[in-house]
Amino acid sequence: MKGVRRAAGKLLLSLVVAHCVASTVAYAQGNDRSAPTGGRSALMGNTGIAFGSDGAAAFMNPATVVGIRDQAIAFSVNFLDFNNTHTSNWHQPGTVDASKFGPVNLGGTDIATAGFNPLPSTLCLFFTIAGPTGHDEASLFARGRQKLAFCFGTLESRSFSLPAVSFLGKTSAGTTSQAQSVAESWSRIQAGPTYSFALTDRLALGLSLHVVSTSDSFSLDGASITSEVGGGAVQTSLESGGHGQAFDMTAIVGATYRFGKVTVGLSGQLVPVHLFGNYTGVLQNSYAAVTTHDSALTVGSGSFWASPPIRVGVGVGIKQRRFTAEVDASFDVPWGSEASTSLTGSTTTLTATGATMAPLTASYTIPSHPVFNAAIGGEYFVSQSFSLLSGFSTNFSSVPGLAPSMTLGNLAPERMSWVNTSLGIGSYGSAGSILIGVVLGYGRGQAIALNPYVLPNNWSVVDTWAYDALFVLAGAINVGSMSRAVQEVQSVISTGNPDAFIKTPAKALPVSPDAGQGPPDTTKPEPEPEKTPGGTPLAPDKP
């Protein structure tokens, strides 16, 4: 019975890990590398240019892949995200047309939303194709060692949903009633191979070739009925929505140089090559009063560009027996623009005599600003199998101050800049490694809001701020351990003995942070119990 429980427990662990790898994170547009791509990297302040050792390595500095240990599946699951966002003056965001509505001074116009979100994962598979396959420091960085990796990661992700927001208030002219719904999302996914090799025992080089998919969608929809000065009321509505998808190719090059206990890393994301993209947008604005009315509907579709930035990063790290620390700095250079589109379509206007339609040909661009970010992090090993991790980082938006217009060109409905701090623990053993922790963030920025107190309605810019808690579950699992767990369960079913398939004791493989570089594993395998000539153990199995 103990054998059954032990085998089932190992299989359960394997299934949990497999589920986490297959599972399907939140920041704003223009925040490059805002979504954590590696568990250890995230818990060490989003560092990794010098000491990348998990799923983030291929994206931050491909040269660090050469030092990742073998026979492990590295995974990072940004397991659960809690976000609390506040927006000021949402229901009265701008100037008021006092000639129509009188003085409007509403209270309680701020809004707040909070909730948990399931988050996507990063998956990397690492293979040694040449050179030593040992697990000691000398083998990991030995001249001639070559590694190949295939990685999939979400580098940016932001989703915001606020359906069915209502507001009822009093003005000097009477009453006002509003109903709005907001949905926004932005994501950037990169996937492709990474090659890394050790040119010497000190110098390693690497290259990643990635396909980049960028998605941008939003919907801002609002309607209101407000009393007019002198009697009567005005009914208004304003709706804007769009969806864009762009595909690019980019290359990331990197190098690391080791001298003593210090490692310096350099990485650069090169000029992207745009493959294709498409965009569709709609804009509807109307109002109706006792004696007047006006309505216009604009639709358009066309191409879409949203290329990742050119990025240069440098990292310096020091590794002691019990302590690892790293400081990184990066500079993002915009390539072209944050997002742009060229559209064709039409504008249909309702008049007293009917509807008129005019063709539309237009191009819209959201410029991008250069951005500097910094990160610092460390890991301290309390024992060989247990560590504490912590870090701090910034993530500033490359989107400039918002300037919305009554067109299809509002491609960036919000912007947010963040500061983050992290804290976590790591557990390491022969079967794999697990890291658990939290990344706490505070962000400030702007958002586009509907102003219902001008005719026709228009857009205004409001301030917004947010608190974020990202709960991280990450690590690596030994492929051999997963295979042995499955075989043990098969043995239990067929023979009742989970160890029946094992001819010799399985060799324990040292595993360190996310299959990376930790203290050497000096533990010895537990000796087999002595047996009688008939093969019966002299002592029962330990629970």
Comparing CA positions, the residue from 249, 251, 250, 255 lying closest to residue 267 is 255
Q: Mind listing the pLDDT tens digit for each residue in 439-485?
A: 999 999 999 999 999 988 999 999 999 999 988 888 776 665 555 55
Q: Does residue 235 form part of some domain? A: no
Tokens standing for residue 449: 């809001």
**Residue partners of 22: CB distance under 8 A and separation at least 6:** 121
Flag whether 443 is in a domain: yes
CB 71 within 8 A of CB 35: no
Are 474 and 465 contacting, i.e. CB atoms less than 8 angstroms apart? no
Most confident of 38-42, 413-417, 502-506: 413-417
In angstroms, the CA 243 to CA 159 distance is 14
Q: What is 175-196 written as a DSSP string?
A: EEEEEEEEEEEEEEEEEEEEEE
The pLDDT value recorded for residue 137 is: 73
Would 519 be classed as within a structural domain? no
- Strand 354-366 with 339-351, pairing: antiparallel
pLDDT > 60? residue 317: yes
Within 13 Å and on the Cβ side, how many CA atoms surround 83? 23
Question: In the predicted model, what is the mean pLDDT of residues 334-338?
Answer: 81
* Share of residues in the chain with pLDDT > 70 (%): 78
Range of lowest pLDDT (140-149, 355-364, 377-386): 140-149
Asked if residue 365 is part of any domain, the answer here is yes
**Using CA atoms in the order 83, 89, 94, 95, what is the torsion angle rounded to 10 degrees?**
180
Q: Of 496, 361, 441, 428, nearest to 54 (Cα)?
A: 428
pLDDT band at 518 (very low <50, low <70, confident <90, very high): very low
Ranking 91-105, 270-284, 368-382 by mean pLDDT, the lowest is 91-105
**Is residue 374 a contact partner of residue 314, using CB atoms and an 8 Å limit?**
no
Residues ≥6 apart with Cβ < 8 Å to 349? 295, 296, 297, 355, 356, 357, 358
Concatenating the DSSP letter of every residue in 106-124 gives -S---EEEEEEEE--EEEE
**pLDDT reading at 187 higher than 50:** yes
Model confidence over 199-208: pLDDT tens digits? 999 999 999 9
Which CATH number goes with the domain that contains 260? 2.40.160
pLDDT of 279 reads 96
Distances (CA, A) of 343 to 281, 295, 300, 492: 9, 21, 6, 64
Q: Would the pLDDT of 495 be above 50?
A: yes
| pLDDT value of residue 260 | 87
> What pLDDT, on the 0 to 100 scale, is given for residue 125?
83
Q: Decide: 85 and 441 in contact? Cβ < 8 Å.
A: no
Residue 535 has pLDDT above 90, yes or no: no
Please give the residue range of the domain that contains residue 435. Answer: 2-114+143-229+241-487
pLDDT at 101: 87
Q: What is the pLDDT of residue 516?
A: 40
Kindly tell me if the per-residue pLDDT of 156 is higher than 80. Answer: yes
Residue 531 has pLDDT above 60, yes or no: no
- What DSSP assignment string belongs to 7-76? HHHHHHHHHHHHHHHH------TT-TT-S---HHHHHTTT--TTT--STTHHHH-GGGGGGSPSSEEEEE
The larger pLDDT score, comparing residue 11 to residue 333, is at 333
Average pLDDT of span 150-165: 85
> At 112, is the pLDDT very low, low, confident or very high (cuts 50, 70, 90)?
confident
Please calculate the CA angle 382-386-423 and round it to the nearest 5 degrees: 85
Query: Across residues 299-323, what is the average pLDDT?
Result: 94
Rounded mean pLDDT, 13-27: 36
Tokens 């799923």 belong to which residue?
A: 55
Q: Is residue 512's pLDDT more than 90?
A: no
In angstroms, rounded to a whole number, what is the distance separating the alpha carbons of residues 388 and 133?
Answer: 28
User: For residues 364 and 305, what is the distance between their CA atoms, to the nearest angstrom?
Assistant: 10
**Residue 283 within a domain:** yes
* 513 DSSP 8-state letter: G
Rg (CA), the chain: 28
pLDDT above 90: percentage of residues in the chain: 47
> Is the confidence at residue 492, as pLDDT, over 70?
no
Report yes or no on 537 lying in a domain.
Answer: no
Q: Which two tokens stand for residue 32?
A: 């490059």
- Whether residue 326 lies inside any domain: the answer is yes
Q: How many distinct structural domains can be found in the chain?
A: 1
In this structure, what are the phi and psi dihedrals at residue 431, rounded to the nearest 5 degrees? -85, -15
For residue 234, being part of any structural domain is answered with no
pLDDT band for position 113 (50/70/90)?
confident
**CA distances (Å), 271 to each of 251, 277, 280, in order?**
8, 17, 26
Q: Give the least confident one: 71-75, 135-139, 423-427.
A: 71-75
CB atoms within 10 A of CB 535: 6
* Average confidence score pLDDT of the chain: 81
Contact by Cβ (8 Å): 258, 202:
yes
Closest by Cα among 476, 475, 267 to 389: 475
The 3-class secondary structure across 414-482, one letter per residue, is EEEEEEEEEEEEEEEECCEEEEEEEEEEEEEEEEEEEECCCCCCEEEEEEEEEEEEEEEEEEEEEHHHH
Residue type, 238: L
Find, among 245, 113, 129, the residue nearest to 197 by Cα: 129
